[in-house]
C-alpha cells in the first residue's frame, strides 16, 4: 500500500467519524446549518480524495451521497429521519469500501442498492447538473462569477500516486472552464512534479464550493484562487490564448459566457490572477507550518519510546544508588540533573500517549441510537468529561467492555415507554456516561434511570447456581455484584443485543486486566450505576518505596495520604481485624509481613502508610518507608499473574525486584476479614 493510500484511509476514517457525529446532531436538530455543512464537507472531501488515489468506486458512490446532501444544504430537500438513516447506512458502506481496494461482489450489490435509494430523493433537477446544462447552453445566470485558480501540485505528487484529473473533472462540473496545464520548470529528477494548472472558470456555485474541491490537497499543494471582474477575466483569456496555453475556440466560448455586470464582491486584477502575491505565498507557507504542528505516529513507535523511557528510569535508579554508595558529590549532582531530565522526558512521553476519552464516547451515540430503535425504546445518551485523558493502550482495551455495559443498560435496564409512563417516569430513558480524574485514577460511570436490579431474584439465581449457600445472605451490594460471576444471568429471554449471559464476567476480567476494578450499585425502580476505576497509565507510575525485612514493595503514590509511626503493642484486634490509632480514631490495617509471610524479626516501632480507596481509609503496616520512587511496571509471569494483592513488579537500581501492591485488592481483604 502506497503512502498516499495510507494517508487517505486515515483521513477518510476521520471524515467518516465527523460525518457520523454531524448526522447524530442533525437527528436532534435537522435544521442546524453548521452540522449540515460539516456533513457535506466530509462527503465532499472523501469523494475528491478517493478519486485522486484511485478509489474510483468509492468516489462514484460518495458522489451520489454528496448529490443528495447538496439538495439538503441548498434547502431543496428537507432533512428527515428517513434520510438520516439512509446516510448513516451509506457511511457504513463507505467504511467497508475503505477496507477493500477492490470491492467484492456483495459490496457492489449493496452499493447499487443504496444508490437506488439515494436517487429516490434526488429525482428532479440536480443542482450541479442543472448548472452545467445552463453553462453549456450559454444561459448563464445573472449570479455567475468569474474566478482564476492557479494549482501547483507538490513535487512528490507523482510518487505519492496523486492524480489531478479528478480535480479537473470536478471543476468542470461546477461551471464553464478554460484549462491550461504546463510545466513550471525542468526538475533534475524526472519523478518530481513540476506541473502548473491555470483555470479560468465561470460559475454560480460560489467561492467556497471551488475551495472545497481542493480540501484534500490544500495543505501540500499551492492553491491560489481569486475572483475576477469581467474585464480582468477577458484579459486573462486573451493572454492565455496568445501564449498558446488556451485554444481560440475555448477562449471565444468562455468570452461569450462572461456576465455583463460585475458581481458584488472584491475583484482581483489580471496580474493578481496569474501570479500569487507575497502575502498569499506567506499564507500558504503558514498553512504548511500549521500542518506540520500535528503529525501521526504509529502506535508501535510510541510503545518503543515508552519502553526506552522505562529503561532510562531504571538506569536513573542505578545512578542514584551509585551516588549514595560512593558518597560522591559530583555524581550526586549529575544524578539530580539526570533525574530532572528523565522526569521531563517521562511526562512528555505520557502526554503523547494520552488521548481524550471523548474519542471513544463519540462512537456510542450511534450505538445507543440504533439499538434503542431496534428495541422500540426511547433512550437518550448523555456524556460528561469527554476531555478526560488516559493512556491510549487503556483506551483501546476499554471500548469493548463499555459497549457491553451500554448494551446491557439498553436491553435490561431501560424499560419500554409504556412501562415507564405507568411508573410515572418520562417516556424517554436516559443513559449517562461520564469520566473524571479522581485521586490519580480514571473514574468512568455508566448510569441509567431504568428499573434497577432485583436483589431477591439475583440471590435466588445465585443459590440455584451454587454461588451462595442457602444459609448465607450477603448484603445488597454483594448480591448485585454477583452478576459479574461467569455465566450468571437473570434474563428470561436470550437477547442478541446484550448477549447470552456470558458477558458481564468478561467485562470484569477485561477491567481487571487493566489493573482496574468495577463496582455496581442499584436502586429498584430508580436505576443502576456501574463505576469503573482505572490507572491513568500501565507503563510507569510514581510510587512510595517501603520495606519489610529488607524486601522492597511499592505502593502507588496516588492512593497514599500519610505515614505514621506505630508500635506493635499498640495494634489491637477487634472482630478479627487489625486496627491502628490514627488521629482521633482507629483505622483498619494490614501488616505486609503477615500477608506475604516475610521472615525476619518484627521491629518494635513500625511504619503504617495510610491509604485511601474511594472514601475509605486503611493502613498498610511495614518495617520502614524508604521514599518516593519512579516505578516501571513489569507484568508478572504466568505463574504469578493471579497473586493476590500484587499488580506487577519493578526492577530496582541494584538489580533487585520489588513487588507493586494492588492496594484495592489488599483493602478488599481487610474488609472481608472484618466481616
Do residues 15 and 42 touch, judged by C-beta distance below 8 A?
A: yes
State the Cα–Cα distance between residues 35 and 425, nearest whole angstrom. 32
pLDDT digits (tens, 9 = 90+) for 598-608: 988 888 889 99
State the Cα–Cα distance between residues 665 and 517, nearest whole angstrom. 9
Residue 291 has pLDDT above 70, yes or no: no
Query: Phi, psi at residue 245, to the nearest 5°?
Result: -90, -5
Domain 540-674 has CATH 2.40.30.210: no
Cα 498 from chain centre: 24
State the Cα–Cα distance between residues 191 and 156, nearest whole angstrom. 8
Do residues 49 and 213 touch, judged by C-beta distance below 8 A?
A: no
DSSP labels, 46-59: HHHHHHHTT-HHHH
Residues whose CB is less than 8 angstroms from the CB of residue 444 and which lie 6 or more positions away in sequence, other chains included: 357, 398, 402, 433, 434, 435, 531, 532, 534
Mean pLDDT over the full length of the chain: 79
Domain 3-124: CATH architecture, name and number where available: Up-down Bundle (1.20)
Residue 171 DSSP label: H
The three state secondary structure string of 409-446 is: HHHHHCCCHHHHHHCCCCCCEEEEEEEEEECCEEEEEE
> Is residue 266 classed exposed, middle or buried when 0-12, 13-18 and 19+ CB atoms within 10 A define those classes?
exposed
Lowest-confidence pick of 236-250, 255-269, 270-284: 270-284
Handedness of CA 58, 63, 66, 67 (dihedral sign): negative
pLDDT at 551: 92
CB atoms within 10 A of CB 391: 23
pLDDT band at 89 (very low <50, low <70, confident <90, very high): very high
pLDDT at 230: 82
Residue 501 has pLDDT above 90, yes or no: no
The three state secondary structure string of 263-274 is: CCCCCECHHHHH
Average pLDDT over residues 624-636: 81
All CATH 1.20.120.160 domain ranges of the chain, comma separated, are 3-124
State the Cα–Cα distance between residues 536 and 393, nearest whole angstrom. 10
State the Cα–Cα distance between residues 1 and 5, nearest whole angstrom. 6
C-alpha grid cell for residue 137? 447552453
pLDDT digits (tens, 9 = 90+) for 228-250: 888 888 887 777 777 666 676 77
Average pLDDT over residues 543-564: 91
pLDDT at 130: 42
More confident residue, 428 or 613: 428
Residue 3 has pLDDT above 70, yes or no: no
Strand bridging mode 441-448 / 195-203 = unpaired
The span from the first CA to the last CA of the chain, in angstroms, equals 61
Average pLDDT over residues 121-150: 56
| Residues shown for the chain | 675
All CATH 3.30.565.10 domain ranges of the chain, comma separated, are 357-535
C-alpha grid cell for residue 23? 448526522
C-alpha grid cell for residue 279? 502575502
Handedness of CA 94, 96, 102, 108 (dihedral sign): negative
Helix (H) or strand (E) holding 612: strand 605-613
State the Cα–Cα distance between residues 497 and 379, nearest whole angstrom. 15
State the Cα–Cα distance between residues 153 and 218, nearest whole angstrom. 9
Query: Which residues pair with residue 522 across a beta bridge?
Result: 528
Lowest-confidence pick of 192-196, 236-240, 450-454, 498-502: 498-502
pLDDT digits (tens, 9 = 90+) for 447-459: 999 999 988 888 8
Query: Phi, psi at residue 104, to the nearest 5°?
Result: -80, 165
pLDDT at 439: 67
Cα distances (Å, whole numbers) of residue 611 to 98, 140, 371, 590 = 50, 78, 42, 11
Cα 515 from chain centre: 21
Q: What radius of gyration do the chain's Cα atoms show? A: 33
pLDDT band at 135 (very low <50, low <70, confident <90, very high): very low
pLDDT band at 427 (very low <50, low <70, confident <90, very high): very high
Encode 31-57: b = buried (16+ Cβ within 10 Å), e = exposed: eeeebbebbbbbbbbbbbbbbbbbbeb
Class of domain 299-355: mainly alpha
pLDDT band at 203 (very low <50, low <70, confident <90, very high): confident
State the Cα–Cα distance between residues 168 and 180, nearest whole angstrom. 11
Q: Of 604, 587, 660, which Cα lies nearest the Cα of 630?
A: 660
All CATH 1.10.287 domain ranges of the chain, comma separated, are 299-355
3-state secondary structure of 227: strand
pLDDT at 399: 87
CATH number, domain 357-535, options 2.60.40.10, 3.30.565.10, 1.10.3720.10, 3.40.190.10: 3.30.565.10
In terms of C-beta distances under 8 Å and separation of at least 24 residues, what long-range contacts does 474-480 make, across chains too? 477/519, 477/520, 477/521, 479/455, 480/453, 480/455, 480/520, 480/521, 480/522
CB atoms within 10 A of CB 245: 14
Strand bridging mode 429-438 / 379-384 = parallel
Helices (H), 243-298: 248-257, 270-274, 278-292
All CATH 2.40.50.180 domain ranges of the chain, comma separated, are 540-674
Lowest-confidence pick of 216-225, 331-340, 630-639: 630-639
Amino acid at each position: 500500500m502506497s503512502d498516499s493510500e495510507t494517508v487517505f484511509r486515515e483521513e477518510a476514517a476521520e471524515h467518516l467519524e465527523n460525518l457520523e457525529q454531524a448526522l447524530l446532531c442533525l437527528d436532534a436538530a435537522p435544521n442546524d446549518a453548521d452540522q449540515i455543512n460539516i456533513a457535506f464537507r466530509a462527503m465532499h472531501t472523501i469523494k475528491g480524495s478517493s478519486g485522486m488515489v484511485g478509489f474510483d468506486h468509492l468516489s462514484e458512490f460518495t458522489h451520489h451521497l454528496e448529490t443528495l446532501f447538496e439538495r439538503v444544504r441548498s434547502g431543496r430537500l428537507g432533512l428527515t429521519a428517513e434520510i438520516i438513516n439512509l446516510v448513516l447506512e451509506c457511511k457504513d458502506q463507505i467504511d467497508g469500501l475503505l477496507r477493500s481496494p477492490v470491492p467484492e461482489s456483495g459490496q457492489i450489490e449493496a452499493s447499487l442498492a443504496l444508490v437506488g435509494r439515494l436517487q429516490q430523493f434526488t429525482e428532479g433537477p440536480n443542482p450541479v447538473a442543472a448548472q452545467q446544462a445552463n453553462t453549456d447552453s450559454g444561459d448563464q445566470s445573472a449570479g455567475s462569477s468569474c474566478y482564476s485558480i492557479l494549482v501547483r501540485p507538490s513535487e512528490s505528487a507523482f510518487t505519492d500516486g496523486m492524480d489531478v484529473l479528478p480535480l479537473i473533472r470536478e471543476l468542470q462540473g461546477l461551471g464553464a472552464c478554460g484549462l491550461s496545464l504546463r510545466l513550471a520548470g525542468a526538475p533534475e529528477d524526472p519523478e518530481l512534479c513540476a506541473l502548473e494548472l491555470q483555470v479560468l472558470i465561470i460559475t454560480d456555485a460560489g467561492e467556497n464550493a471551488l475551495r472545497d474541491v481542493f480540501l484534500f490537497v490544500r495543505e501540500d499543494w499551492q492553491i491560489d484562487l481569486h475572483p475576477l471582474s469581467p474585464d480582468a477575466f477577458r484579459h486573462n483569456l486573451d493572454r492565455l490564448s496568445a501564449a498558446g496555453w488556451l485554444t481560440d475556440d475555448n477562449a471565444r466560448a468562455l468570452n461569450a459566457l462572461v456576465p455583463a455586470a460585475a458581481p458584488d464582491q472584491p475583484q482581483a486584477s489580471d496580474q493578481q490572477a496569474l501570479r500569487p502575491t507575497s502575502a498569499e505565498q506567506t499564507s500558504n507557507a503558514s498553512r504548511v507550518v500549521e500542518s506540520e504542528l500535528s503529525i501521526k505516529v504509529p502506535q508501535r513507535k510510541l510503545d518503543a519510546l515508552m519502553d526506552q523511557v522505562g529503561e532510562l528510569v531504571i538506569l536513573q535508579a542505578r545512578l542514584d544508588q551509585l551516588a549514595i554508595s560512593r558518597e560522591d558529590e559530583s555524581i550526586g549532582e549529575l544524578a539530580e540533573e539526570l533525574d530532572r531530565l528523565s522526569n521531563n522526558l517521562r511526562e512528555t512521553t505520557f502526554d503523547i500517549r494520552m488521548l481524550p476519552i471523548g474519542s471513544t464516547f463519540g462512537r456510542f451515540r450511534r450505538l445507543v441510537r440504533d439499538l434503542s430503535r431496534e428495541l422500540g425504546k426511547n433512550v437518550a445518551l448523555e456524556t460528561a468529561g469527554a476531555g478526560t485523558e488516559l493512556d491510549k493502550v487503556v483506551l483501546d482495551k476499554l471500548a469493548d467492555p463499555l459497549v457491553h455495559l451500554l448494551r446491557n443498560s439498553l436491553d435490561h435496564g431501560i424499560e419500554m415507554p409504556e412501562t415507564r409512563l405507568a411508573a410515572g417516569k418520562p417516556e424517554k430513558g436516559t443513559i449517562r456516561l461520564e469520566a473524571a480524574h479522581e485521586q490519580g485514577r480514571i473514574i468512568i460511570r455508566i448510569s441509567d434511570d431504568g428499573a434497577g436490579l432485583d436483589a431477591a431474584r439475583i440471590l435466588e439465581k445465585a443459590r440455584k447456581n451454587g454461588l451462595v449457600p442457602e444459609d448465607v445472605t450477603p448484603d445488597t451490594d454483594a448480591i448485585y455484584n454477583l452478576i459479574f460471576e461467569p455465566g450468571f444471568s437473570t434474563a428470561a429471554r436470550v437477547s442478541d443485543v446484550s448477549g447470552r449471559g456470558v458477558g458481564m464476567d468478561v467485562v470484569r476480567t477485561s477491567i481487571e486486566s487493566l489493573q482496574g476494578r468495577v463496582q455496581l450499585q442499584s436502586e429498584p425502580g430508580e436505576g443502576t450505576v456501574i463505576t469503573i476505576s482505572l490507572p491513568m497509565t500501565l507503563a510507569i507510575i510514581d510510587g512510595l518505596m517501603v520495606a519489610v525485612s529488607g524486601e522492597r514493595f511499592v505502593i502507588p503514590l496516588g492512593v497514599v495520604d500519610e505515614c505514621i509511626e506505630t508500635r506493635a503493642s499498640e495494634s489491637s484486634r477487634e472482630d478479627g481485624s487489625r486496627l491502628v490509632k490514627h488521629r482521633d480514631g482507629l483505622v483498619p490495617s494490614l501488616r505486609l509481613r503477615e500477608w506475604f509471610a516475610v521472615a525476619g524479626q518484627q521491629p518494635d516501632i513500625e511504619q503504617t502508610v495510610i491509604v485511601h480507596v474511594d472514601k475509605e481509609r486503611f493502613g498498610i503496616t511495614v518495617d520502614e518507608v524508604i521514599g518516593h520512587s519512579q516505578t516501571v511496571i513489569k507484568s508478572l509471569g504466568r505463574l504469578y499473574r493471579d497473586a493476590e494483592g500484587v499488580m506487577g513488579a519493578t526492577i530496582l537500581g541494584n538489580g533487585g525486584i520489588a513487588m507493586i501492591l494492588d492496594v484495592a485488592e489488599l483493602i478488599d481483604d481487610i474488609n472481608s476479614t472484618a466481616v
